[in-house]
A and B are shown apart, each in its own frame.
Chain A
Amino acid sequence: MKYVLFLCTLVGGEELSPEEIAEDPRFTAYIDEVRSRDIVKGGARLRPHTDATTVRVQGHEVLLSDGPFVESTEYVAGIDIVEVADLDEAIALASRHPAALGGGSVEVRPVWE
Chain B
Amino acid sequence: MPDVEPDVEEAVAVAFREEWGQVVATLIRVTGDWDLAEECAQDAFAQALDRWRRDGVPRRPGAWLTTTARNRALDVLRREAVGAAKLREVAVLARDEPSYEPEDASGDDSGVQDLQDDRLRLIFTCCHPALPIEARVALTLRTLAGLTTPEIARAFLVPEATMAQRLVRAKRKIRNAGIPYRVPPAHLLPERTTGVLGVVYLLFNEGYAATAGVDLVRTNLCAEAIRLARVLARLMPDEPEVLGLLALLLLHDARRHTRVDAAGDLVTLENQDRTAWDRAEADEGTALLETALRRGRPGPYQIQAAIAACHMTAPTADDTDWADIAALYGELARFVPSAVVRLNRAVAVGVAEGTDAGLALIAELEDEGDLAGYHLLPATCADLLRRGGRMDEAAEAYRRALELVENDAERRFLEKRLAECRFA
Contacts and interface: CB of A to CB of B under 8 A. Distances in A.
Q: Residue among A3, A86, A90 with the most chain B CB within 10 A?
A: A86
A87 B184 contact: no
A86 B178 contact: yes
Interface of B: 128, 130, 176-180, 184, 188
A110 B130 contact: no
A88 interface: yes
A3 B179 CA distance: 12
A91 to B, nearest CB: 7
A64 interface: no
Contact of A90 (B176, B178, B184, B188): B178
A34 interface: no
A52 interface: no
24 contacts: A1-B178, A3-B178, A85-B178, A85-B180, A86-B178, A86-B179, A86-B180, A87-B128, A87-B130, A87-B177, A87-B178, A87-B179, A87-B180, A88-B179, A88-B180, A88-B184, A88-B188, A90-B178, A91-B130, A108-B177, A110-B176, A110-B177, A110-B178, A112-B176
Given A3-B178, A87-B130, A112-B176, 11 more contacts: A1-B178, A87-B128, A87-B177, A88-B179, A88-B180, A88-B184, A90-B178, A91-B130, A108-B177, A110-B177, A110-B178
A82 B188 CA distance: 21
Interface in A26-79: none
A108 B130 CA distance: 10
Contacts of B177: 87, 108, 110
Majority SS at the chain A contact face: mixed
- 10 tightest A-B contacts by CB? A86-B180, A1-B178, A86-B178, A87-B178, A87-B179, A110-B177, A87-B177, A110-B176, A88-B180, A110-B178
A112 B175 CA distance: 12
Contacts of A3: 178
Contacts of B176: 110, 112
A87 B184 CA distance: 12
Q: How large is the interface on A (under 10, 10 to 19, 20 to 34, 35 or more residues)?
A: 10 to 19
A112 B177 CA distance: 9
B383 to A, nearest CB: 41
Nearest to B179: A87
Interface in A79-113: 85-88, 90-91, 108, 110, 112
A90 B184 CA distance: 14
Contacts of B184: 88
Interface string A1-23: 10100000000000000000000
A90 B177 CA distance: 10
Nearest to B184: A88
Contacts of A110: 176-178
Nearest to B187: A92
Contacts of A86: 178-180
Contacts of A85: 178, 180
A1 B180 CA distance: 11
B177 to A, nearest CB: 5
B34 to A, nearest CB: 16
A85 B184 CA distance: 13
A73 B41 CA distance: 48
B156 to A, nearest CB: 26
B134 to A, nearest CB: 19
A112 B130 CA distance: 18
Nearest to B185: A88
Contacts of A90: 178
A3 B177 CA distance: 9
Nearest to B130: A87
A57 B128 CA distance: 41
A87 B178 CA distance: 5
A2 to B, nearest CB: 9
A108 B129 CA distance: 13
B416 to A, nearest CB: 47
Contacts of A88: 179-180, 184, 188
Contacts of A108: 177
Contacts of A112: 176
A1 B184 CA distance: 18
A85 B181 CA distance: 12
B410 to A, nearest CB: 37
Nearest to A1: B178
A48 to B, nearest CB: 29
Nearest to B188: A88
Nearest to A85: B180
A88 B128 CA distance: 10
A64 B37 CA distance: 50
B376 to A, nearest CB: 33
Q: Residue among B128, B130, B178, B179 with the most chain A CB within 10 A?
A: B178
B386 to A, nearest CB: 46
Contacts of B188: 88
